[in-house]
Chain A
């Protein structure tokens, strides 16, 4: 389903290869809801992939699936996830425990609920190290100090002795980042890591990610619903809609000349930059008509069809496969079918 036409990444050794991933949730009524259908993508070492998706697109399911952290009602039905050459879907629970936090770091959205309220910050970072490495107390403390110094340019010592409630949202997020990189992972998955932060802090956190990529060769999957966040940050962007990959390509290309009608419509919803067009202020913004489809009762055909301004007859009958529109840029839309 959606076979690859071109190798998307030049690297000889891919860090992550996701092939034909299908995941679904079962409701108590027995209804099955296909949250992810045929996801394919690759990630090279040190690459930053932005996963752009709105609510219901499957982006959080994707994050959870990659680490086998789906809730009891969720199940991966098909596909493979090759990480550093190993299929995660066939890994033992012990191996998975070593990989999570060890080889793959995780950063989720709510920094305030991810930190233990009554343990000092230093302790919480040490705990992550202790879970994955056998270090003596001295080495543990040394490494903890180094980690906090790598994410806090000033005051790392004071932060280490503080409790979470004394820290601002941005500071707490930095602590989560320290925990995520503690064991020197090759990949960090971040799900809306800057959602609750204000713009200046957001910019600083993105800069921190860039520095870590540079210093540690860290690859990253940044999941967000905000396209502007990925501009100038992600190397490539994967656009997710209703559990399918709509488009994937170099970030600058996807943002400046989007090809999939959904990506085009999504980017048009953003307020125009005020420098470009003063007359656009206080006018109606473009919206995408309709709503995302109910995944528990999908009809045949393209999942974006009912909201698409460029729909054709064929769109009602079949789901489009991925087609290359240029080097490294693929779109799943019948406009581009060969």
Chain B
């Protein structure tokens, strides 16, 4: 069975100014390959600057790779033109780390989840309202909050709203780029549960990008580790966690703050 998403040898260069007369290129992605089966979660972990967000932007068709291919349900996305890509974008959604900058603070919750319907010109006005309320239900935002402005919502509610908006056009895959990182621990647990539940009921596929290894370990079917624009290790989550092979993976596991109990004493590993 073909994977939902397959990335092969993806390269993305950015121009980084001039040095001694020659143009300097920055290889944000230096030959990345991965694949995600439908309905699964791939956690992509790595340090800042490893290229995780660049990869997210390329997969979501918001950046054009320099070379390489991205296949979505067997379609070569990189070979499509702008118009064709626009038709595909609803199926690949993004949720970012900072809901405050990805949600218009002056819009109401209802307006925010309805916006995708307006942009893609789906449904009549009454239909939009019904569907928007259903989306809020789905992410457990009480209906009485529907008329509240985004800046009146808590961090956790904003992130639920961002997820509801991502669900509006019934995507196949959601890319979550550090989507839990700015939230309090108890709220992270709530959103993690919501993500698992939505995956179960809607058959969603997730690309979960994070530097929080503990949360990646909790949510992932597969883990891929990125280092300086390349995937240096990947495989089933249990394997990567129990027997990490690459130095970058071992460093990330070692840097993870963990509670290790020796009788009566907790130490930082």
Q: Is B13 an interface residue (CB 8 A)?
A: no
Q: Which of B186, B212, B219, B252 contacts A269 (CB 8 A)?
A: B186
- Knowing A168-B49, A226-B185, A282-B219, the reply to whether A287 touches B196 (Cβ < 8 A) is no
CB-based contact B218/A232 at 8 Å: no
Q: Which of B155, B214, B215, B259 contacts A231 (CB 8 A)?
A: B259
**A251 to B217 Cα, complex, angstroms:** 26
Q: Is A261 an interface residue (CB 8 A)?
A: no
CB-based contact B186/A229 at 8 Å: no
Q: Nearest chain-A residue to B269 (Cβ)?
A: A232
Q: Is B112 an interface residue (CB 8 A)?
A: no
B189-244 interface (Cβ within 8 A of A) = 189-190, 192-193, 196, 211-215, 217-221, 237-238, 241
From B22-30, B63-71, B115-123, B260-268, give the one contacting chain A.
B260-268
* Binary contact track A266-289/B, C-beta < 8 Å → 1, others 0: 100111111000101111111110
**A206 to B220 Cα, complex, angstroms:** 28
Q: Nearest chain-B residue to A286 (Cβ)?
A: B189
- Knowing A55-B184, A232-B266, A287-B190, the reply to whether A199 touches B252 (Cβ < 8 A) is yes
The total of chain A residues at the interface (CB under 8 A) is: 45
Instruction: Give, as a whole number of angstroms, the nearest-CB distance from A130 to chain B.
Output: 33
- Knowing A199-B256, A229-B257, A256-B265, the reply to whether A269 touches B214 (Cβ < 8 A) is no
Q: Is A255 an interface residue (CB 8 A)?
A: yes
**A255 to B260 Cα, complex, angstroms:** 10
Q: Which of B155, B219, B268 contacts A55 (CB 8 A)?
A: B155
**A228 to B256 Cα, complex, angstroms:** 9
CB-based contact B218/A281 at 8 Å: yes
**A255 to B251 Cα, complex, angstroms:** 24
Q: List chain A residues, Cβ under 8 A from B259.
A: 228, 231, 255-256, 270, 273
Q: Which of B189, B212, B237, B265 contacts A285 (CB 8 A)?
A: B189
Q: Is B134 an interface residue (CB 8 A)?
A: no
CB-based contact A54/B266 at 8 Å: no
Smallest CB-CB A-B distances: 10 pairs: A232-B268, A228-B257, A271-B218, A199-B255, A285-B189, A54-B184, A269-B189, A198-B211, A274-B217, A200-B255
15 A-B pairs besides A228-B258, A251-B266, A274-B214 with CB distance below 8 A are: A168-B49, A169-B48, A199-B255, A201-B48, A202-B255, A202-B257, A231-B258, A233-B268, A252-B266, A253-B264, A255-B259, A271-B218, A280-B218, A287-B189, A291-B154
Question: Which residues of A are at the interface with B, using a C-beta cutoff of 8 A?
Answer: 54-55, 168-169, 195, 197-203, 206, 225-229, 231-233, 251-253, 255-256, 265-266, 269-274, 278, 280-288, 291
Question: Which residues of B are at the interface with A, using a C-beta cutoff of 8 A?
Answer: 47-49, 154-155, 182, 184-190, 192-193, 196, 211-215, 217-221, 237-238, 241, 251-252, 255-261, 264-268
